């Protein structure tokens, strides 16, 4: 009995150390009356509003030093390696390690799930994606282009321990689902920081009117960067007294990964144009893309009618693509969705204590609301009241 009691006591102590306690209820931007732009959202206001897209997380919190994880974005339910999707990559500021980017630049194809993680875990996560692809696709595959983005969570996470395993990546893949996406301090956003507050994973979507094609654009972000936070034009960072260049002490380096999905039939060069516009959404939140920030965008289309089939048949293939003038509404959609996804990553994140006892506070929603009311930038709607 004494041994059993000690085991139970140890389990309680260990569990309490594993999970930082945070009781404050968190909200998405629209639940607070923060409505970005003019276009309507999809059902879930998430990247998963793009049909076929799934998102999965593996959150890793261990002891008082490990605060990290993996997030995966899967473009469709089939065999991605055998049924590749059009894809493009854009570096707004290339201080980072984005695995798989050069082949995407050259071929314009995505052949594995997109994985997000921490900086020093990129090789291990890439290796896991290779192993997953070999096991899923079979055959005598001799080349796999794993796609892995990263931000550095080393302030809250003892990043040098490189704890992420193949099973962690597999867990994230197997947990992937459509519908609502968990946001905030989860998956690859577990240990991230944005604008001096707790950052994380955020997502949003936009749907074009039927007369403009009815296409959906979804965005997911991993936020770990700085600047002067602006929400719907209100200088929130200045009002809260936490912003880049304050007393020339505050740093704004870090990174953001922006994943863009659409069901519009776009070629890789058109997807790159779409990816570039995501940086405008980032800028609207107050980021200057500093020297030390790895700001990357990867964009793909799920539309099966624009996929070029991998085949030994050299004859031309027929595909469907939008004309270039049809891209302008999609540009508006990606700017709005990126901006709102970043807000969601901040507003849903919870206070986290991690490596060496460092504590990063969640952005105070009550104070944010006061500032937004002061600048009259809230847009209350019956659908978006506080619960």
List, by residue number, the catalytic residues: 255, 293, 295
- Residue from 95, 36, 369 nearest 253 by CA: 95
Provide the 3-class DSSP secondary structure of residue 218: strand
CA distances from 137 to 79, 81, 82 (A): 7, 7, 7
Taken in order 150, 275, 219, 307, the sign of the CA dihedral is negative
63-102 burial, b at 16+ Cβ within 10 Å, e below that, comes to eebbbbbbbbbbbbeeebbeebbbbbbbbbbebbbbbbbe
Distance between the two ends of the chain, CA-based, in angstroms?
A: 46
Residue 24 to residue 28: CA distance in whole angstroms: 13
Contacts of 200 (CB under 8 A, 6+ apart): 183, 184, 185, 186, 189, 190, 192, 194, 222, 223, 345, 346, 348, 349
């Amino acid at each position: 009995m004494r041994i059993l009691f000690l085991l139970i006591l140890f389990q309680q102590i260990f569990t309490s150390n594993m999970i930082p306690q945070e009781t404050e209820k968190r909200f998405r931007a629209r639940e607070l009356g923060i409505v970005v732009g003019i276009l309507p959202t999809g059902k879930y206001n998430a990247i998963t509003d793009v049909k076929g897209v799934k998102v999965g997380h593996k959150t890793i919190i261990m002891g008082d030093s490990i605060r990290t994880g993996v997030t995966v974005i899967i473009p469709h339910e089939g065999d991605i390696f055998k049924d590749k999707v059009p894809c493009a990559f854009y570096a707004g500021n290339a201080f980072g390690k984005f695995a798989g980017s050069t082949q995407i630049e050259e071929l314009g194809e995505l052949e594995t799930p997109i994985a997000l993680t921490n900086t020093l875990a990129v090789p291990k996560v890439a290796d896991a994606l290779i192993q997953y692809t070999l096991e899923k696709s079979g055959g005598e595959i001799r080349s796999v282009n794993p796609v892995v983005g990263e931000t550095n969570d080393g302030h809250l996470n003892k990043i040098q321990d490189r704890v992420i395993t193949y099973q962690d990546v597999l867990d994230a893949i197997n947990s992937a689902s459509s519908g609502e996406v968990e946001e905030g301090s989860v998956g690859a956003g577990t240990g991230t920081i944005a604008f001096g507050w707790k950052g994380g994973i955020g997502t949003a979507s936009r749907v074009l009117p039927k007369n403009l094609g009815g296409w959906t654009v979804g965005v997911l972000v991993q936020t770990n960067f700085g600047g002067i936070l602006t929400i719907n034009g209100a200088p929130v960072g200045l009002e809260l007294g936490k912003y880049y260049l304050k007393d020339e002490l505050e740093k704004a380096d870090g990174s953001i990964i922006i994943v863009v999905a659409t069901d519009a039939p776009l070629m890789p060069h058109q997807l790159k144009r779409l990816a570039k516009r995501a940086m405008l959404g980032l800028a609207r939140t107050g980021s200057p893309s500093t020297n030390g920030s790895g700001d990357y965008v990867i964009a793909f289309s799920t539309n099966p009618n624009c996929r070029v089939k991998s085949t030994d048949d050299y004859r031309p293939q027929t595909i469907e693509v939008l004309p270039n003038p049809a891209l302008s509404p999609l540009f508006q959609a990606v700017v709005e969705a990126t901006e709102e996804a970043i807000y969601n990553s901040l507003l849903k994140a919870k206070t986290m204590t991690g490596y060496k006892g460092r504590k990063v506070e969640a952005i105070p929603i009550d104070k944010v609301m006061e500032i937004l009311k002061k600048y009259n930038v809230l847009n209350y709607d019956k659908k978006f009241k506080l619960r």
